[in-house]
Amino acid sequence: MTAATLTTGPTTGRASTYRLTFGHVLRSEWIKFRSLRSTWWTIGTTVLVMVLFSLTMAASMNFAANDAEMAAAMGNVSTVQAIVLGYVFAQLSVAVLGALVITGEYATGMIRSTLSAVPRRLPALWAKTIIVGLVTFAVAIVGIGLSYLATMPMLSGNDLVPDLGDGTVQRVILACAAYLTFVAIVAVGVGTIMRHSAGSIFTLVALLFVLPLVASFLTQEWVQDIAKFLPMNLGTAMMVVTEADAGGVEVLSPGSATVAMAVWSVVALAAAAVTLKRRDA
């Protein structure tokens, strides 16, 4: 009588082939981003504000060109300002967009699901930042393009239409889109740190509008030195062509201003990353 020998081979269980890659995180964040109605309302508001403000600027330039005294008072403002100056108010829209991407999840409690799905946390932050940055840059270019089309009939009568083939005009257009992108990224950082929509928006309004306004009323040299590095003044510097474009405010060179805005973005994201890793959801 022979004993039966039971041989056991390697277990062939059904192993999951799913891997949490950064591409998956990016795709997930993109779905959440485009699924929110607030996203599209904010994007639409940004484009509308840019076009309306450009029309206002173009009307002022066109009116001044028909009057010798007003033209002299206006100074040598570059014609490209007519299609990019909408950034002054559009920056608030993109700041709200950047902040809401993260604070909205804290408000609804969805952040717990996000951080459970992405335990390392930081890939979720980087994915949100990339999406907000790319969308903001694209929206800015669209806004500038529509501003050009809207203002062209008005400016053509006095030969004030900016030449899109000119290298300087192209630099200013790209600088405008880059500045709005930097602002949106800073907003993502602020939103991550504060985790509250109203508080984040209040902080961003103070940073973008209130502080430059207060600094403009102060004459101390050290205040003016600091004011050069405030985002609003950096945006002006990035897009400046002539001294008149700066509106009488002393600003950095376009290259230095671009580097300074990049530093703002990096510092905001670094602080956000540290905060996100250390805090509970």
pLDDT (0 to 100) of residue 119: 85
Residue 16 lies in a domain: no
d(CA 114, CA 149): 41
pLDDT (0 to 100) of residue 280: 74
How many Cβ atoms from other residues are within 10 Å of residue 205's Cβ?
14
Residue 150 lies in a domain: yes
For residue 256, give the nearest of 276, 223, 233, 273 by alpha carbon: 233
Total number of domains constituting the chain: 1
Residue span of the structural domain in which 142 resides: 22-278
pLDDT (0 to 100) of residue 8: 44
Which residues of the chain, if any, have pLDDT below 70?
1-18, 66-76, 244, 247-248, 281
pLDDT (0 to 100) of residue 69: 59
Burial pattern 52-71, b for ≥16 Cβ within 10 A else e, equals: ebbbebbeebbebbeeeeee
pLDDT (0 to 100) of residue 214: 92
pLDDT (0 to 100) of residue 5: 46
Residue 5 lies in a domain: no
pLDDT (0 to 100) of residue 149: 94
For residue 97, give the nearest of 40, 146, 175 by alpha carbon: 40
pLDDT (0 to 100) of residue 76: 62
Residue 2 lies in a domain: no
Q: What is the CA radius of gyration of the chain?
A: 25
Q: Is the pTM of this model over 0.85?
A: yes
Residue 74 lies in a domain: yes
Residue 42 lies in a domain: yes
Q: What phi and psi values does residue 36 have, to the nearest 5 degrees?
A: -90, 130
Question: At 232, is the secondary structure helix, strand, or coil?
Answer: helix
Residue 268 lies in a domain: yes
Residue 261 lies in a domain: yes
Q: Convert the pLDDT of each residue in 256-280 to its tens digit.
A: 999 999 999 999 999 999 999 888 7
Mean pLDDT of the chain: 86
Q: Convert the pLDDT of each residue in 197-219 to its tens digit.
A: 999 999 999 999 999 999 888 88
